[in-house]
Homo-oligomer: A and B are copies of this chain.
Amino acid sequence: MSYNINLNDIERNGERSVTQQLVDRFAELIDAGSLEPGAKLPTTRALAEQAGVNPLTAARVYRRLGELGYTTATVGRGTFVRTRPPHSAPADANDDTWQLAALPHRTPSYTEQMLEESFRSPERTDVVMLSAGWADPASFPRRAVEDAGRRVLAEHMDETLNYQPVEGVPVLREAIADLGARHRFATGPDEIVVTTGAKQAIDLAARALLEPGDVAVVESPTFAGTLSAFENAGARLLPMPVDEDGADIGAIERILARHEVKVVALQTSCQNPTGTALSQERRERLLELARERSFFVVEDGVYSGLRFDGPRLPALRADAPAHVVHIESLSKTVAGGLRIGWLAAKGPVLARLAQLKMKSDLHTPSMTQLVAAELLSGDAYEDHVRTSAAVYRDRRDAMLEALDRHFADAASWIVPGGGHNLWVTLDRPVDERQLYAEALREGVTFLPGGAVQPEPTGRTSLRLSFSIVPPERFDDGIRRLARALRAVQRRSRVAATGMIS
């Protein structure tokens, strides 16, 4: 830039102060583009000399220009014309286009897009929705919730309205601890923190346990929400394949040879999406590794009660209470809209989780906690879970029959021992996004395998949920899916032929 700024017409005794005149002069030159963005302005001393003012006045001119957004100043380097023009803001107050430049860069991952899509389309009825592993609305215990709600309104109004402890309403923590004693995920109410669904518990665990760059081992495939939470905590996710015996713990050993592992996350029973349980041998090896190498295990037990072929398995946390954070909810067993979940942990990690819960929302709404406490008291809850499990087992069988009829020549699957989901892998890979789009056109949804795996595997898999669709629609749904697959295969053969010719 040129230092020859014309300051000859500054009036010593004018109506505007000398400072203001100098400010206006620079502003005009910058607005007109005569002083370009990035240009260095004279030092305050040089300006003072040239304008015949004292250095304090010159400094005041530059400060004011900075306040007005015309310049930036860096100590020791000088004053520069701002690279962004100060008056570029939209005149229309409703214009929000500027926001994208101001917001942090954050693109939702494929996993997050699919998770969001699965939650944004529950109202579609023309589609056979095999994408959502929710509790079946037909089996909601409406009467029990209504009775519980009335008792809470009549007898616990003050607790409903007052702030409650961060960790949860005492009666609910006690009821959860009773459940924990039976299924061995907790030994007392002081180990419990109530959360707004298991989703929040997983998010809190990810944020409390992991720092950016930390290594976390997750099942492949797993729950999309776990992938999303751990990715958002900045963790590096390494995969642990799942087979008929649950997660392959040997993968952790291979990872440990090269990495410090901070967290291993898994579902030890009724795994989402395979429906498998971790074998006894693998359970023991996992805990040996956790103790030897000091990592946390996040055990997601949301489907654990929905076991088809026997009573619920004891929680992994039973054998390593200081290493395992156990997570559970009422979303799969009662209803998702209640948004009641919890975690069980002990030691410093419990305090961290409670602190983070406090920072997030102080506590889960008292009213739903109190209703949940009523629901969990007595035997009604466990009876309801057992009844539900039998319903879901029948649906699994119906789904397996439909697959046998329409998919036997194109795919293989793991027979789930519990839960809401079934994991199908195609014999030959196809583009899963194409398959998803084609299936939607045919009127059936599924959760694409890529959305529930931490890395591409080269195979094409689908999570099919059998929990919310009436079983009489399974045959139709799977047939539509088979039709979509054939269409995609046909197109890819045509494309391949086209490429060769």
Contact = CB atoms under 8 A, between A and B. Distances in A.
Nearest to A135: B161
A339 B361 contact: yes
Contacts of A103: 208-209, 348-349, 352
Interface string A121-160: 0100000000000100100101001100110111001111
Contacts of A104: 208-211
A267 interface: no
Interface stretch (A12-20, A316-324, A436-444, A477-485): A316-324
Contact of A293 (B86, B119, B296, B334): B86
A363 interface: yes
A330 to B, nearest CB: 10
A152 B365 CA distance: 16
Interface string A58-98: 00000100111101110000000000001101100111111
A400 B348 CA distance: 43
B362 A199 contact: yes
Interface string A95-127: 111111111101010001001100110100000
A43 interface: no
Given A145-B157, A157-B146, A256-B67, A292 B163 contact: no
A253 B363 contact: no
Contact of A99 (B112, B196, B232, B348): B348
B321 A94 contact: yes
B106 A348 contact: no
B232 A359 contact: yes
B256 A355 contact: no
A228 interface: yes
B349 A87 contact: no
A94 B346 contact: yes
Contacts of A164: 337
A291 interface: yes
A253 B68 CA distance: 7
A261 to B, nearest CB: 10
A66 B292 CA distance: 13
A440 to B, nearest CB: 20
B72 A258 contact: yes
A6 B279 CA distance: 39
A154 B145 CA distance: 11
A89 B292 contact: yes
A383 to B, nearest CB: 18
A291 B338 contact: no
Contacts of A335: 160-162
Interface in A197-217: 197, 199-200, 203, 208-211
A262 interface: yes
Interface string A471-500: 000000000000000000000000000000
Contacts of A453: none
Given A66-B256, A66-B257, A258-B73, A322 B361 contact: no
Interface stretch (A366-374, A388-396, A427-435): A366-374
A116 B203 contact: no
Contacts of A157: 140, 142, 145-146
Contacts of A355: 108, 112, 116
A196 B322 contact: no
Nearest to A293: B69
A33 interface: no
A163 B102 contact: no
A274 interface: no
Contacts of A257: 63, 66-67, 71-73
A364 B365 contact: yes
A54 interface: no
B94 A337 contact: no
B352 A106 contact: yes
Contacts of A363: 339
Nearest to A66: B257
A192 to B, nearest CB: 16
A157 B364 CA distance: 20
Interface in A280-315: 291-296
A134 B347 CA distance: 31
A199 B87 CA distance: 34
Contact of A364 (B66, B90, B322, B339): B339
B197 A362 contact: yes
7 contacts: A94-B322, A98-B322, A104-B208, A142-B158, A199-B359, A228-B359, A337-B367
Given A72-B257, A367-B368, 10 more contacts: A67-B253, A94-B321, A103-B349, A142-B157, A145-B157, A149-B149, A195-B361, A196-B365, A337-B367, A360-B360
